[in-house]
Amino acid sequence: MAKGLKKNLINDSTIELLSRFEILRNLSHEELKTLLRGKETSYEARIAKLIRFEPEETVIREGDFDSWSFWIVTGSYNIVIADTVIATLNVPGEIFGEMSVLDGIPRTASVVAVKEGICLGIDMSILTNLDDEYIVHIITSGFKQKKMERLNLTHLQVVKEKQAIDSRYTTLLKLEKDLKKREDALAQKEEMLYKKEQELIKREIAMMKLDSYD
């Protein structure tokens, strides 16, 4: 991820935009500046960075293992799995990359910039090194809440899918019962026709016997 780092992009308009993001809205402008600037003299050593990505630049690579999460500030980004674009994110404040960090697993998808854009990146592995405990608490709590929301959403989707499957199963059972009734009705008609056919054969045989007596 560090290869994508560009120049310092901190300015008042960007800080104002960041302050509207869901997890960051409880932080003041000064606290956001503290988060971005840190106390390190080296820009590379900061916990949070504003990063500019060029068109088609990879933000996250599928299969990699790192501890960075990202907020969209500007731009549009494709979510790619196995060279297939499955979604596009372009709303300022949208987060990506946090689930792999929270779950401690390799990246399950790549994220590629569609056009030039800016993201706020936070290295969650060293966030606790920040001296301001309040900022650390706000961000870590926000991420945990976000994870719960994603899990709840996943749960709701699973419930809906189960309900849809149950509904389809019920419909299939009804169709199966209807088909069984039709099959039974056809079987009854076939049996009646067979009996009538046997009766006609018997009558024909009886008639033939009578004719032979004449």
CATH number at residue 134: 2.60.120.10
Is pLDDT at 203 greater than 90 in this prediction?
no
Residue 182 included in any domain: no
- Residues 71 and 92: their CA atoms lie apart, in Å, by 7
Average pLDDT, integer, range 66-92: 91
The count of structural domains within the chain is: 1
Residue 196 included in any domain: no
Is pLDDT at 86 greater than 80 in this prediction?
yes
Residue 133 confidence (pLDDT):
82
Q: Mean pLDDT: which of 11-20, 81-90, 194-203 is highest?
A: 81-90
Entry field: residues in the chain: 214
Residue 139 included in any domain: yes
Please compute, for residue 40, the number of CA atoms within 13 A of its CA located in the half-sphere on the CB side: 13
Is pLDDT at 73 greater than 70 in this prediction?
yes
The helix or strand, by DSSP H or E, that contains position 135, with its residue range, turns out to be helix 133-213
Q: How far is CA 187 from CA 14, 141, 207, in A?
A: 77, 68, 30
List the structure tokens of 176: 């199966």
29 CB neighbour count, 10 Å cutoff: 12
Average pLDDT, integer, range 28-53: 72
Residue 209 included in any domain: no
Residue at token pair 């008639």: 207
By C-alpha distance, which of 175, 173, 60 is closest to 110?
Answer: 60
* Averaged pLDDT score across all residues of the chain: 81
- Residues 172 and 2: their CA atoms lie apart, in Å, by 54
Q: Which structural domain, as residue segments, surrounds residue 108?
A: 2-148
By C-alpha distance, which of 9, 24, 36 is closest to 137?
Answer: 24
Residue 128 included in any domain: yes
Residue 190 included in any domain: no
**Confidence at 192, pLDDT banded by 50, 70, 90:** confident
Please, what sign has the CA dihedral across residues 22, 27, 29, 30?
negative
Residue 129 included in any domain: yes
- Whole-structure pTM value: 0.60
Task: Kindly list the strands in the beta sheet with 84-89, ordered across the sheet, starting from the edge strand earlier in the chain.
Answer: 58-60, 110-113, 77-81, 84-89
Residue 187 included in any domain: no
**Confidence at 39, pLDDT banded by 50, 70, 90:** low
